[in-house]
Amino acid sequence: MKKILVTGGTGYIGSHTSVELLNAGYTVVIADNLSNSSIDVVDRIEEIAGKKISFHKVELCNRTEVDLLFEQEKDIDAVIHFAAKLQVNQSVQEPLMYYENNLFAQINILQSMLKFGVKHFVFSSSCTVYGNPDTLPVTETAQVKKAESPYGNTKQMGEEILEHSCKTKPIEAISLRYFNPVGAHESGLIGEVQHGVPHHLVPYITETAFGKRPFLNIFGSDYKTPDGTCVRDYIHVVDVATAHIAAVEQLLHGLNKKKYEIFNIGTGIGYSVLNMVNAFAKATGINIPYQLSPRRAGDVEAVYADTKKALSELKWKARYTVEDMLCSAWNWEQKQRGIIN
Ligand code: UDP
């Protein structure tokens, strides 16, 4: 059984990926500092998969702690690195905290990998690297635009660190550029945990459906899109999770064409904000009250993925529909609120 280290494994995408890894027969080691997640998630992952994981509370920014982790967990075959701070607005206020946290952690892990002879690394990147793309759907070869926030820049710099490290060191890596991960596991046991007012669209929709928010503000209705609202490529978090299994397997089986590869992880379909509101009504029967509001600073008009490379090389494609995504998000919201068991 191959052993995979999942950093940030109690977080949103990390927890879903840990479940899929266990389901696929891997041994899972999670390293997380629990700064934005709860230890209960470990039990929930184990409950869903019916298997145990090995959990370590680790500050990945601390080189000694990372070395100790690799020493204790011998024979790690690959690392999937999710652990990062990810609030765009906070990163603007606290740029040094973001650069220190996100980059030091990644560098420490790569250093320990070299020291302990671990070769394979999968990185959480983001479609934010494309900014406002010149052509749609956006391919992996599209120009990387100057990052709008320190958070976005840590993703771009993270990719560059990998590109350069793979050139001269015994490391092979894949960056997965996620589009908009949404939804939750069908069990309703794991999902995206909200602190305060949701920044993202789907949690805002489910909190409005629950009655916690009176209405949804739709940020911008004068974009050059079919209905004037922004277009995104929403993807079920379980599909994002299975993309990581495909990436790890490509590296473990030596099927990667180059030492460093990049893949878009999306459905390839663009949905506007209004499309999402309508899809939620179709999926759940609940109409979301909304108000058309001014544009939100920093939003790009439209972005959706060209998914051909992931299909042809990773043999991976998204399986879930937008209704599946929204039903699972609503199920998670209701379970958290104790409306359903
Ligand atoms: N959005 C919105 N109202 C909200 C939250 C988001 O209209 O309360 C819009 C936002 O302007 C963007 C889309 O929904 O066009 C997706 O936003 P989200 O924050 O979920 O993802 P990202 O900005 O990372 O693409």
**Among this protein's residues, is 151 annotated catalytic?**
yes
Q: With contact defined as beta carbons under 8 Å apart, do 19 and 48 qualify?
A: yes
Q: Do the bridges between strand 3-7 and strand 172-178 make them parallel or antiparallel, or are there none, so unpaired?
A: unpaired
Ligand 1: atom nearest CA of 216 is: 8
Share of the chain above pLDDT 70, in %: 100
CATH number of the domain where residue 131 is located: 3.40.50.720
Question: What is the token pair recorded at 341?
Answer: 């068991």
303 CA closest ligand 1 atom index: 25
Number of domains, the chain: 1
Please give the pLDDT value at position 39: 97
Q: Which two tokens stand for residue 278?
A: 């309508």
Q: Which residues line ligand 1 (CB under 6 A)?
A: 180, 199-201, 204, 216-219, 230, 232, 273, 296, 299
Structural domain span for residue 117: 3-183+234-266
Distance from the alpha carbon of residue 9 to the mean position of ligand 1, in angstroms = 25
Residue 311 lies in a domain: no
pLDDT of 238: 98
pLDDT band at 340 (very low <50, low <70, confident <90, very high): confident
Residue 30 predicted with pLDDT over 90: yes
- Asked if residue 246 is part of any domain, the answer here is yes
* pLDDT tens track for 121-132: 999 999 999 999
Annotated active-site residue in 151, 234, 271, 304:
151
Residue 190: its pLDDT value, please? 98
Residue with the larger pLDDT of the pair 339 and 165:
165
What torsion do the CA atoms of 130, 290, 276, 126 make, to the nearest 10 degrees? 20
At 200-209, the pLDDT tens digits run 999 999 999 9
- Residue 223 C-alpha to ligand 1 middle, in angstroms? 13
Residue 289 resides in a domain: no
Query: In angstroms, how far is CA 211 from the centroid of its own chain?
Result: 27
Rounded to the nearest whole angstrom, what is the distance from the C-alpha of residue 201 to the centroid of ligand 1? 5
Residue 332 lies in a domain: no
Note the pLDDT of residue 227. 98
**137-141, 237-241, 334-338: range with lowest mean pLDDT:** 334-338
Q: Based on the number of CB atoms within 10 Å of its own CB, is 186 exposed (0-12), middle (13-18) or buried (19 or more)?
A: middle
Asked whether residue 336 is domain-assigned, the answer is no
Report yes or no on 286 lying in a domain: no
pLDDT in the model for residue 10 = 98
In the chain, DSSP assigns E strands to: 3-7, 27-32, 54-57, 78-81, 120-126, 172-178, 180-182, 216-219, 231-232, 234-236, 260-265, 271-272, 290-293
- Residue 309, pLDDT > 90, answer yes
Question: Which whole number is the average pLDDT over 101-112?
Answer: 98
pLDDT for 337 beyond 90? no
**For a substitution probing ligand 1, which of 192, 265, 290, 299 has the most ligand atoms within 8 Å of its CB?**
299
Residue 142 maps to a domain: yes
Examine the pLDDT at 116 and tell me if it is beyond 90. yes
Residue identifier of the C-alpha nearest atom 7 of ligand 1 = 218
- Average pLDDT of the segment spanning 217-242: 98
Q: Please tell me the distance between residue 293's alpha carbon and the centre of ligand 1 in angstroms.
A: 12
Q: In terms of DSSP bridges, do strands 27-32 and 78-81 run parallel, antiparallel, or are they unpaired?
A: unpaired
- Across 49-69, average pLDDT: 98
Does residue 339 carry a pLDDT above 90? no
**From 127, 213, 232, mutation site for ligand 1 pocket: most ligand atoms within 8 A of C-beta:** 232
CA of residue 296 to ligand 1 center, whole Å: 8
What's residue 148's pLDDT? 87
Across the chain, what does the average pLDDT equal? 97
The reply to whether 200 falls in a domain is: no
Residue 341's pLDDT is 77
